[in-house]
Structure 1
Amino acid sequence: MADTVNDGPFLSYTASLITQGKHRFYTLTIPSDVLARTCFVIDRDEDPVQGFQRLLDKTRAQQIADYIDAGFGTIPTSVVLSAQKVADFEYTRKTRTVRFRENPKSFLVLDGQHRIYGFHLAKSELRVPVVVYNELSRADESKLFIDINTKQRPVPNELLLDIRKLADYRNDIETRLGDIFDLFATQPDSPLFGLMSPSKRKKDHISRVTFNAGLKSILYIFGEAESTDIYRVVASYLSAFVSETNKRNLEVDLTAPVAFRAVLSILPDIAQRVRDKHGTGYSPDDFADVVGDMLKNIKPSSAKNIGNSVSAYAKVFTDGLKVKTIF
């Protein structure tokens, strides 16, 4: 609710006072449009909205705005703010309420900058959980900002991809990649069986992030093929690759992200040669014929030296595809 004084409007909300260590702060909920009008991210005399636009990622903020406007989701995490002097921030213990002046520079945002910017862009409104610190020095604000933004650990991308499947919250490409990953992880005849890690990074295993990065770059060659058909071709290729490298004592660690992505990146070239020579059956034997010819020209030391570049490591193998003549 709002009341008016000589200097302008005040807003008042029910709040709880919490003490942690030497700090006291207040928890409450504030309408998103109010936050959009009263928060800023830089301590300068300039338009708060321009401040957000210059410092933050508008694409990410627009995604938040679209999510809010869709009306199907929720953002339960608290925005963390520091009340500024212009806010005239007050807490009344008897009524357990806080009041502050509606001013574009009332609150410095310590955490939740993109959410606040998203509130600027959103067409709809919602109540937002908020934590407000009051009477902090600039040094205290800086320390809190650093603590909040360095001590929080983001959820690993591998786990997010796994959870997206459970939530039925994937786009078409993610769905295809996820289905193919699951086939490689669960099919007993998979050349990667026992080497897949669906929800976290794990030594000597292929994560969803690594798998997706490798397969996504060549997904175009399969057109609208079903996930099972893509699995069959890629599995045939990888089976042949593993078999032929073992025959020649070439050490190629497919669980190493650079190696896995490099080996997959040359599949289009290999598949073209298989098609020209054997047709479109794409059996493991067909792939082995072409891959074996390629690996004849690879030095063991070159195959072992993975390095940090996907393209450089892929070239080790594509150089072996070049036709060598005696004339």
Structure 2
Amino acid sequence: MAKKSKASGKSPSVKAPFLKVDQGDTSFYLTKLTAGVLGVITYASIRGQDNEEGAVQRILNTRRISSIADFANAVGHFPNSIVLNWVNTKEKIIAKDGSLEVPIATRSAQLIDGQHRVEGLRAALETNPEIRDLEIPVAIYQNLSTAQCANIFLSINTEQKPVPRSLVYDLYGIADVELVDAAAVRARDIAIALNEDEDSPYRNTIKFPGSPRSRGGIALSTVVTAMKPLVDIKGDFEQRNIFDLETQKKIIKNFFSAISQFYGERWYEPTNAFMYAAGFSGGTDFLKTKMLAYCQDRKSFTQKTMKDAFSISVNDLILQEEVKGKGGKEATLFIQERLTGLFKLTSSKGNDYEV
């Protein structure tokens, strides 16, 4: 635990063990500070707004702050270091006898990396005072120039790239419930069914982390991202009182199976647009915006009902060459519009859903 001390005429301070790290032409202290101390001593210097050395930060995203506060209260795992630039020239940090003495004075340290985490911890403190004693790893530089701060910020945010989204979604299947995105977990479960069920039109075509490298196929991240609006709380399924996994899974399989019938043996060929990300995403968007309402109106979500909603000849098949050269969103929208052009919009009333 950090130890508090107070010298005459100075701010109170804390002492903590540290390591001095030399990297290139700079050095920093690697130590630990509590969330309460970080909340006092740190501030963000915004690029384009604050006229001072070291101003490299972006404007805060309030949604991220709320999410981090919830995470701090539920889990409280923050293993990555907060990176600071100590700029208080009146009260300096002192390394002596194996301890780092850090004055607890406001606006002493610019945040180079971790401003959203610190603001999230500040927000968590408002409802949970125990967060004040949560220990956070910290790297402290001293009196860096704006260029030096920019170099460190860029090395963290460009060179140290985040993990692939497919791996994140896959890990949701084994992580603690407090950490996971419930809609992503549901979408992942449906993705597994699409990839493994014998009656799925996407059997063995969805690429999970660790899958052999191959051309074609659809990344898990694409499938999960496309399906999340369908399965999320108050999403398109829940708005129609379709809550259970098995029914949601069956409806999605029915939809793509209905389209696959028009392709026949050509469905798994590399010419088929639905074997790629844009085809799956565009198809899922069409299911969400058009097909669900159509099926709800007819009280039937069967494969036959969905197939009968289309008029697709051999010459109408949507091919990958049609979206070649188009960007991700443009290609997805193109697929959705092509399906809309092949859609026979009719209406029929009934009493009970059929799946």
Q: Tell me if both proteins adopt one fold, taking TM over 0.5 as the criterion.
A: yes
Are residue 134 (structure 1) and residue 134 (structure 2) matched?
no
Question: Which one of the candidate residues 8, 31, 34 is aligned to 2:11?
Answer: 8
Once the two structures are superposed, the pairs formed by residues 80-91 of structure 1 within 5 Å of their partners are 80-84=83-87, 85-91=89-95
Are residue 265 (structure 1) and residue 285 (structure 2) matched?
yes
Q: CA deviation at 1:171?
A: 4.7
Residue in structure 2 matched with residue 57 of structure 1 by the alignment: 61
Q: Distance in 2 between matches of 1:296 and 1:118?
A: 55
Q: CA deviation at 1:58?
A: 2.0
Change (3 A) 1:218 1:63: closer
Q: Distance in 1 between matches of 2:33 and 2:170?
A: 33
Residue in structure 2 matched with residue 195 of structure 1 by the alignment: 205
Q: CA deviation at 1:262?
A: 1.7
Q: Distance in 2 between matches of 1:103 and 1:5?
A: 14
Change (3 A) 1:63 1:303: closer
Q: Distance in 2 between matches of 1:301 and 1:61?
A: 43
Structure 1 residue identity aligned to 2:98: R
Structure 2 residue identity aligned to 1:61: I
Deviation track 1:219-243 (CA, whole Å, cap 9, x = no partner) reads 5246334322332332233223123
For the Cα contact (< 8 Å) 2:172–2:181, is it kept in 1? no
Q: CA RMSD in A?
A: 3.5
Residue in structure 1 matched with residue 29 of structure 2 by the alignment: 26
Q: Distance in 1 between matches of 2:344 and 2:301?
A: 23
Q: Distance in 1 between matches of 2:175 and 2:42?
A: 33
Residue in structure 2 matched with residue 254 of structure 1 by the alignment: 274
Are residue 68 (structure 1) and residue 72 (structure 2) matched?
yes
Question: Which one of the candidate residues 284, 291, 313 is aligned to 1:296?
Answer: 313
Q: Distance in 2 between matches of 1:195 and 1:4?
A: 67
Q: CA deviation at 1:172?
A: 4.2
Q: Distance in 2 between matches of 1:281 and 1:28?
A: 58
Structure 2 residue identity aligned to 1:259: G
Q: Distance in 2 between matches of 1:121 and 1:261?
A: 37
Q: CA deviation at 1:36?
A: 0.8
Question: Which one of the candidate residues 204, 208, 216 is aligned to 2:220?
Answer: 208
Structure 1 residue identity aligned to 2:68: I
Q: CA deviation at 1:287?
A: 4.1
Change (3 A) 1:60 1:2: same
Q: Distance in 2 between matches of 1:25 and 1:78?
A: 12
Q: Distance in 1 between matches of 2:280 and 2:28?
A: 49
**SS at the partner of 1:24?**
strand
Change (3 A) 1:213 1:26: closer
Q: CA deviation at 1:35?
A: 0.8
For the Cα contact (< 8 Å) 2:11–2:105, is it kept in 1? no
Structure 1 spans left out of the alignment, 5+ residues: none
Structure 1 residue identity aligned to 2:148: D
Q: CA deviation at 1:7?
A: 4.0
Are residue 179 (structure 1) and residue 189 (structure 2) matched?
yes
Q: Distance in 1 between matches of 2:285 and 2:315?
A: 17
Q: CA deviation at 1:106?
A: 1.3
**SS at the partner of 2:71?**
helix
Structure 2 residue identity aligned to 1:69: N
For the Cα contact (< 8 Å) 2:272–2:318, is it kept in 1? no
Q: Distance in 1 between matches of 2:339 and 2:190?
A: 25
Change (3 A) 1:197 1:25: same
Q: CA deviation at 1:145?
A: 2.0
Change (3 A) 1:78 1:216: closer
For the Cα contact (< 8 Å) 2:274–2:280, is it kept in 1? yes
Structure 2 residue identity aligned to 1:112: G
Q: Distance in 2 between matches of 1:147 and 1:155?
A: 16
Q: Distance in 2 between matches of 1:287 and 1:248?
A: 20
For the Cα contact (< 8 Å) 1:297–1:320, is it kept in 2? no
**SS at the partner of 1:34?**
helix
Are residue 154 (structure 1) and residue 162 (structure 2) matched?
yes
**SS at the partner of 1:29?**
strand
Change (3 A) 1:86 1:158: farther
Q: Distance in 2 between matches of 1:78 and 1:66?
A: 19
Question: Which one of the candidate residues 25, 37, 42 is aligned to 2:45?
Answer: 42
**Structure 1 range deviating more: 153-162 or 128-137:** 128-137
Are residue 316 (structure 1) and residue 338 (structure 2) matched?
yes
